[in-house]
Chain A
Amino acid sequence: MSELIRQYLVSAIVIASAWAPTAAGISLIYGVLRYPSFALGEFMTLGAYLTLGLSAGLGLPLPLSALIAATASGFVSLAVDQTAFRCVRRAGILPPILLSLGLMLILQNVVRAIWGNGSWQLDVPLARPYQLLGFTITPYQLITIAISFVTVGAAYVVLLRTRFGKAVRALADNPDLALVSGIQPEPVYAGVTFMAGFLSAVGGVMLGLQSVLTPLMGWDSLLPAFAIAILGGLGNLMGAGIAALVIGLAGEYSLLFVQSSYKSAVAFVVLALILVIRPSGILGGRS
């Protein structure tokens, strides 16, 4: 039992690492554009499959494929935002929600049309694990944790330290005030949607490293990612990181008491309990 308790920690951190970037993307879009984007799960799928196409199809090295795939996903996200979503900017919350649902279905079916309904595997050799301070962990799990930490961390630093970040935070805090102080909103929206697409795709690649690629992989991660974004406090990247860990830990350790099929239910119970105490999420307010 104590062995399991130790090993579950690794499982929790790994799955949290795969979910955190997408949750950060959801958080960002909600913070600035004020709508929940249901399409971001599919950007995970897109990122993973593009990486597959570039590495297995064109023979590029995996890290380069992942970088190109994430960038491309970012641009897809940006392009859709600047066309479809831009038309409904001032139409309230419902039209962009519906648009994101439509985009979700389109992306999922494009992936099905190109790669089929079957399962695929990124071309990484299966590795036997290291023993690290008593934890059993594989190289790719370490890489997943590191990359997720670096990507979400970098996004956080961008928001905190750059002029663009300042504009993002200003728009998120008080759009009217930001506008009268001369901030051009469209470039900010563009930057934010690019970041969200990029982050989600990175999450997708990380998830792909840990399991098989199926057209439903993003959809299956959408609920946990939303739970994490809400728990972290919408618009708060640091909160998303911490919340990912909380949801991951709750899910994995629930296995000690209940069947694995209740994993996500347990995570949502934890979400509900925390929101009762802290209604605006773990780190409240905004980044």
Chain B
Amino acid sequence: MAFREGEPRTMSRRRFTALASASLAASAGLASAPAWAVGQEIPIGALMPLTGAGGPFGQNMMKAVRSAVDQINATGGPLGRRIRLYQEDDQTDPDAAVRAAKKLIEVNKVSAVIGTWASGVTLAVAPVCQASKVVEMSTSGATKITTIQKQGFVFRTEPDDTLFGRAYAEFAAVRGWKRVAILGLNVPFTVTTVSNFRQAFEAHGGKVLSYDTYNQSQTTFRSETLKAAQGKPDFILVSGYEPDVTGILRSAYENGLHATFLVPGFSVSDTLIKNAGPAAEGLLLVQEGVAEGSPAYKEVVSALGGSEYYSFAAQTWDQIQLVALAIEAAKSATGSAINHGIHAVSGPPGTKVSSFAAGVPLLRKGKKINYEGASGAIDFDANGNITTANFRIAEVRGGKVVPVQLVKNVHF
């Protein structure tokens, strides 16, 4: 079942009274909006992993969107209409996600679905959205999604796996590392990231000493780790998920190795740090970046009120801002209008703005704008992928993830 803007599934009387007075207050606000601003609410769907593997990220992603919608509505909303947010849990599961997406589109009549996180979910939901000319905004990295994006309507604020590969190489160049051993889980993202890493790394004069792929069913990694460490590489790049990365780190420790490991940020969680214990010390993570220090990111941090690294929540924050700006720019809230509008408000040329509130006055004066958000500059190419991305390198020190360096402007 869907539930609206933070409404609990069962509504208490007090809660109802509060909501009722809130909506009264909101309609009073509407009354003072410009005369052309009459109209219904604009339904937008938020489809995020509140449970399952993406659960730890999804909760914050949803919270960020809720508070962005509150802000947008407080300024009157796009075209003076309020955004009505329909929230669904995709359970990090493509089947559940497709059911929820159909419900959002057919029952709630949303014109945009934002926030799909797992690549499998995005790949499953995208065709459903495209068939109904509904915009989908995703935080998934798989290069394969680009094939679907060629039919339009699908935007990604997450750096493509290609860019992850290049970010590894740029960081290696900064450190002056020339020799690498690679271990990769035998899945599509490894193929993409490793081939792009390899190209960029070898262009910098780097040498790949060994490259071994392993299957998901592999349980122990003693021999693989020994082989990778054999030629004394400057670092070992592991492209994998949490369980195998944990196994590899533990094997390295138990073999008495002192190697430097570089892994994708999405493979590292508190569970990994707990399970690998001392073996995780010094582990280097490449995380998708945020626009650190930007006003938009500060707002995300204050909305979520914590000290974590909110890379995915920053992306969903930007997604809803972009959708709202696109509606304003296209003067229409249909999926096709949003699809065109996003291209118009996200990239240069135009005045840089970092929120809906800042962009709307310019759009109403007929000026062009260029949204730069909490997650980065977000300039889309024709397919709907971001053309440049920032990354953050962090290190595990004393059981905590500590930022060490930024890798900026990695290009397609």
Which A positions have Cβ atoms within 8 angstroms of B? 3-4, 7-8, 10-11, 14-15, 18, 117-121, 125-129, 136, 138, 140-141, 207, 210-212, 214, 216-217, 219-221, 223, 252, 255, 259-261, 263-264
**Does B81 touch A at the CB level, under 8 Å?**
no
- Minimum CB–CB distance for B25 against chain A, Å: 42
Q: In whole angstroms, what is the CA distance A127 to B252 when docked? A: 11
Contact indicator B230/A4 (Cβ below 8 Å): yes
**Does B250 touch A at the CB level, under 8 Å?**
yes
Contact indicator B222/A260 (Cβ below 8 Å): no
Q: If the complex has contacts A4-B230, A117-B53, A211-B247, are A259 and B213 also in contact, measured as CB distance less than 8 A? A: yes
B215 proximity list for chain A (CB < 8 A)? 260-261, 263-264
Q: If the complex has contacts A217-B219, A264-B217, are A126 and B224 also in contact, measured as CB distance less than 8 A? A: no
Contact indicator A3/B230 (Cβ below 8 Å): yes
Contacting residues of chain B (50-68) with chain A, CB-CB under 8 angstroms: 52-53
Contact indicator B226/A220 (Cβ below 8 Å): no
Q: If the complex has contacts A10-B222, A11-B222, A121-B275, are A214 and B214 also in contact, measured as CB distance less than 8 A? A: no
**Does B177 touch A at the CB level, under 8 Å?**
no
- Minimum CB–CB distance for A121 against chain B, Å: 4
B276 proximity list for chain A (CB < 8 A)? 126
B272 proximity list for chain A (CB < 8 A)? 119
Contact indicator A207/B277 (Cβ below 8 Å): no
Q: If the complex has contacts A212-B246, A217-B219, are A259 and B274 also in contact, measured as CB distance less than 8 A? A: no
Contact indicator A260/B52 (Cβ below 8 Å): no
Contact indicator A138/B224 (Cβ below 8 Å): no
- Minimum CB–CB distance for B210 against chain A, Å: 10
Q: If the complex has contacts A126-B250, A264-B217, are A255 and B212 also in contact, measured as CB distance less than 8 A? A: yes
Partner of B224, one of A117, A118, A255: A255
Q: In whole angstroms, what is the CA distance A136 to B227 when docked? A: 14
Partner of A126, one of B52, B53, B220, B279: B279
**Does B151 touch A at the CB level, under 8 Å?**
no
Q: In whole angstroms, what is the CA distance A64 to B27 when docked? A: 66
**Does B349 touch A at the CB level, under 8 Å?**
no
Which A residue sits closest to B230, measured CB to CB? A4
Which A residue sits closest to B52, measured CB to CB? A117
Contact indicator A11/B212 (Cβ below 8 Å): no
Q: In whole angstroms, what is the CA distance A244 to B111 when docked? A: 58
B255 proximity list for chain A (CB < 8 A)? 7, 129, 136
Contacting residues of chain B (296-337) with chain A, CB-CB under 8 angstroms: none
Contact indicator A121/B219 (Cβ below 8 Å): no
Contact indicator A210/B219 (Cβ below 8 Å): yes
- Minimum CB–CB distance for A147 against chain B, Å: 16
**Does B223 touch A at the CB level, under 8 Å?**
yes
Q: In whole angstroms, what is the CA distance A120 to B279 when docked? A: 15
B254 proximity list for chain A (CB < 8 A)? 126-129, 138, 140-141
**Does B271 touch A at the CB level, under 8 Å?**
yes
Contact indicator A136/B256 (Cβ below 8 Å): yes
B242 proximity list for chain A (CB < 8 A)? 118-119
Contact indicator B279/A263 (Cβ below 8 Å): no
B246 proximity list for chain A (CB < 8 A)? 119, 121, 212
Q: In whole angstroms, what is the CA distance A259 to B184 when docked? A: 10
B213 proximity list for chain A (CB < 8 A)? 259-261
A221 proximity list for chain B (CB < 8 A)? 219
Q: In whole angstroms, what is the CA distance A7 to B276 when docked? A: 22
Contacting residues of chain B (217-250) with chain A, CB-CB under 8 angstroms: 217-224, 226-227, 230, 242-243, 246-247, 250
- Minimum CB–CB distance for B94 against chain A, Å: 15
Contact indicator B220/A118 (Cβ below 8 Å): no
Q: If the complex has contacts A3-B230, A217-B219, are A259 and B212 also in contact, measured as CB distance less than 8 A? A: yes
Which B residue sits closest to A121, measured CB to CB? B275
Which A residue sits closest to B246, measured CB to CB? A212
Q: In whole angstroms, what is the CA distance A284 to B219 when docked? A: 30
- Minimum CB–CB distance for A27 against chain B, Å: 21
Partner of A7, one of B53, B212, B226, B250: B226
Q: If the complex has contacts A119-B242, A260-B213, A260-B218, are A126 and B226 also in contact, measured as CB distance less than 8 A? A: no
- Minimum CB–CB distance for A113 against chain B, Å: 13
Partner of B250, one of A18, A211, A214: A211
**Does B21 touch A at the CB level, under 8 Å?**
no
Contact indicator A14/B222 (Cβ below 8 Å): yes
Q: In whole angstroms, what is the CA distance A18 to B247 when docked? A: 15
B186 proximity list for chain A (CB < 8 A)? 261
Interface pairs A-B: 3 shortest CB-CB: A121-B275, A220-B217, A260-B214
Q: If the complex has contacts A126-B254, A138-B254, A264-B215, are A210 and B226 also in contact, measured as CB distance less than 8 A? A: no
Q: In whole angstroms, what is the CA distance A32 to B246 when docked? A: 40
Contacting residues of chain B (6-21) with chain A, CB-CB under 8 angstroms: none
Contact indicator A8/B250 (Cβ below 8 Å): no
- Minimum CB–CB distance for B279 against chain A, Å: 6
A264 proximity list for chain B (CB < 8 A)? 215, 217
Contact indicator A212/B222 (Cβ below 8 Å): no
Q: In whole angstroms, what is the CA distance A8 to B225 when docked? A: 11
Q: If the complex has contacts A210-B219, A261-B186, are A4 and B227 also in contact, measured as CB distance less than 8 A? A: yes
Q: In whole angstroms, what is the CA distance A127 to B243 when docked? A: 19
**Does B278 touch A at the CB level, under 8 Å?**
yes
Other A-B contacts than A7-B222, A136-B255, 4 sampled, CB-CB below 8 A, are: A8-B223, A212-B250, A216-B217, A261-B215
A-B contact pairs, 15 of them (CB 8 A): A4-B230, A119-B272, A121-B274, A126-B253, A126-B278, A128-B254, A129-B255, A140-B254, A214-B243, A220-B217, A255-B223, A259-B212, A260-B214, A260-B215, A261-B212
